[in-house]
Structure 1
């Protein structure tokens, strides 16, 4: 089998054979069945393997060496890919589709160029950043609306000497950018991975395959390029990571971005957080829960006005929270000791710091903590907010209104 179309033919034969036996399967299901018959986990993996085999046997049009080479190119509006990652692209611009067709007819390699401004419809050389990504095309699918979906895998960083639209679609002149040799930095690797675990937990990111990969490699560049695309950053910030050629410096930059300790608590929120712990201590509770925190936030100088803008009945909310703390938490009463924040309380702390960082607050406020509480959907605190019709969307809207009023 030399080409992925052979596998598709097998899938078609399988479907037809099953149909004669009154068994109906979809096209995608037949592809998955063929993949498993060949001992591969899924169709995407098999397709990538077959394309790689085909590419090895084909004579490339232009090999990237110390000089430059011309490649079909795809401008990306709001996405920054990294080496080693497999990612889908949805393409609709005519010059981009022409470039993809040309790439599939050749070596199946193209250059991804990141646009400086996503609103530019027909970018030229000045409209894209100087560093892009050489990528391998794995699979192309034409959609019913005329656009194209293409599965792509990043190979390595390249420098863009030129980028322009031609009769064959977008083309880029690219040169190789060899990375610096990775120095040993075990402490940096360990700290960055630990912080990324906290970062993922704060954002609700579930990526078990990533943890396995990070456990198995100590290639600093690969670790950095695995973490970077999964962080919630602007295109500009992600591009800055892509443009750092020294793997240690790149990982150190990621480590600094993940560091929440540099985001201080505002004096008002320090007092609110202390009040939440005191509410637990006063009841001799072993743990300070989200309900203690929400009760304190209902009197916070920043969070309480937002709750009122959302039409919260603060008196009723406080009474319901007090009843819950006094009647439902008898099982965590202890004779001595001070209350410790629960894991959920600590997650809210981390999310609040991230929210403050993302919106540009100089310090973490009660509003950041209120926003950070909503992902804890199973908590009684979130339930009591929902009973009053208070959602993350309404809180975000109230914050936007307050911000517009301040600017006005």
Structure 2
């Protein structure tokens, strides 16, 4: 790709192709998708890479490792990168700065090694994990405080054979760790992606646009690494995923981490959920919606105090929800049968279980369900919460504040 015109032409072609299939995206969205297709984090990053090329310092194509090679190296204290990711790297240690300068004078390739203990300032080989990554340095920026910011793209996993400080900075001998040909596992991919989308919504993460193309690539390893890079996990767990070379086993492990099907509803929330279904049945509604659930949560022993801590007027909120259910859902009345939870209701159930797992609750509570409501931004329930000034940020603060008071 020569310059911005090539990238933008590619984006225009993508938009036109999707339009013929009744899929409409904006110009900016097409630029972001093209960036993901080229393995770059976003359009700004791709722009920087192309701009770098205009200055005749285009990043060279990564050279394959025939067996073992020696590279400039950087130890990472509290971060585990995965192949395919593009991220900013901030460095300030003398040996790391020397290694970066050496890398930019050469092939712009570098080994990133993960420290076992982040408190070690001058790590030796024994202080590092066995598996690291080979990265390509895209752009370097020297900051006013003397540190350096480097835009970095991860190429592949490597096994560290040595690591030491030399006159040119840290150096590491590393060998390639081939993963073999991509393996197709459609059922595992489908299940893991669905669970990750719930996880991303719970944590306010952006689901990568490259998701649109995963049903075409079916690359288990790539999907697993994309998820692992974005999941909020302890460094130990992240490294275990990096070191797990079998792509199917890696995605299976991630799928297991995302599986909350065994997380039970607590007694109080189970009663709240039954009350939500009963509210729908009393009105003979065909479906139990998020508004039925939120109305039930206003009387939940865990969720109601959080709403009050956010200065919500529960009386007004209940009245607004009741008016909505009685007036706006009148067309959903059925003669016989019981109300079934909507798809959105079930999504909230899954996200609530995931939130319970994240905060260490043995069972799902009404508070978990309240948190899980916010990603449903188009729902009247979310709108009515916003009218009361209740946001995810305020709920999170109220939860932390209440937890602190409980410990006193």
TM-score higher than 0.5 here?
yes
Partner of 1:365: 365
**More moved, 139-148 vs 336-345:** 139-148
Aligned to 1:251: 251
Greater CA drift, 227-236 or 363-372: 227-236
Match of 1:281 in 2: 281
CA distance in 2 between counterparts of 1:53 and 1:206 reads: 28
Query: How much does 1:332 deviate?
Result: 2.7
Equivalent residue, structure 1, for 2:47: 43
Q: Which deviates the most, 103-112 or 113-122?
A: 113-122
Matches within 5 A, 1:8-407: 32=4, 43-44=47-48, 46=50, 54-55=60-61, 64-66=65-67, 68-118=68-118, 120-143=120-143, 146-179=146-179, 185-203=185-203, 205-207=205-207, 209-407=209-407
Distance 1:212 1:47, change over 3 A: farther
Relative to structure 1, is the Cα distance of residues 36 and 288 closer, same or farther in structure 2, using a 3 angstrom cutoff? Answer: closer
Distance 1:225 1:150 in 2: 21
Does the CA-based 8 Å contact 1:55-1:108 persist in structure 2?
no
| Separation in structure 1 between the aligned mates of residue 362 and residue 149 of structure 2, nearest angstrom | 41
**Which residue is equivalent to 1:10?**
none
**Structure 2 residue matching 1:81: 3-state secondary structure:** coil
Aligned equivalents of 1:152 and 1:285: distance in 2? 54
For residues 4 and 140 of structure 2, the distance between their equivalents in structure 1, rounded to whole angstroms, comes to: 17
Over 3 Å counting, the alpha-carbon distance change for 1:119 and 1:307 in structure 2 is farther
How far did 1:207 drift?
Answer: 4.2
Specify whether residues 207 and 264 from structure 1 end up closer, same or farther in structure 2 by C-alpha distance, changes over 3 A only. same
TM-score, normalising length: structure 1 = 0.78
Unaligned runs of 5+ in 2: 12-30, 35-45
Are the aligned partners of 2:87 and 2:152 in contact in 1 as well (CA < 8 Å)? yes
SS in 1 for 2:209: helix
Please say which of residues 341-350 and 33-42 is displaced more in the overlay.
Answer: 33-42
TM-score w.r.t. length of structure 2: 0.78
CA contact (8 A) 1:88 1:150 kept: yes
**Structure 1's 316 and 126: CA in aligned 2 closer, same or farther, altered over 3 A?**
farther
Could you tell me how far apart the structure 2 residues matched to 1:398 and 1:258 are? 26
Tell me how far 1:300 sits from its aligned partner. Answer: 1.4
Deviation per CA, 1:185-226: give whole Å up to 9, x if none. Answer: 443334333433444455555546322331222333233223
Distance 1:309 1:191 in 2: 37
Gaps of 5+ in 1: 8-30
Describe the shift of the 1:181–1:149 C-alpha distance in structure 2 as closer, same or farther (beyond 3 A).
same
Cα shift at 1:250: 0.8
The 1:216–1:303 alpha-carbon spacing in structure 2 relative to 1, beyond 3 Å, is same
Structure-2 separation of matches of 1:139 and 1:319: 56
Distance in 2, Cα, partners of 1:197 & 1:375: 11
Query: Take 2:262 and 2:173, find their aligned partners in 1: how far apart are those partners?
Result: 41
Deviations, residues 101-132 of structure 1 (Å, cap 9, x unaligned): 11111221111122344455544445433211
Provide the secondary structure at the position in 2 that maps to 1:107.
coil
CA deviation after TM superposition for structure 1 residue 253, in Å? 0.5
| Distance of aligned partners of 1:373 and 1:189 in 2 relative to their CA distance in 1, 3 Å threshold | closer
Quote how far apart the aligned CAs of 1:303 are.
Answer: 1.5
Secondary structure, in 3 states, of the residue corresponding to 1:101? helix
Measure the CA separation in 1 of the matches of 2:146 and 2:78: 21
Number of aligned residues: 374
Q: Report SS of the residue matched to 1:390.
A: coil
Cα shift at 1:233: 2.9
Across the aligned residues of Structure 1 and Structure 2, the Cα RMSD in angstroms comes to 3.4
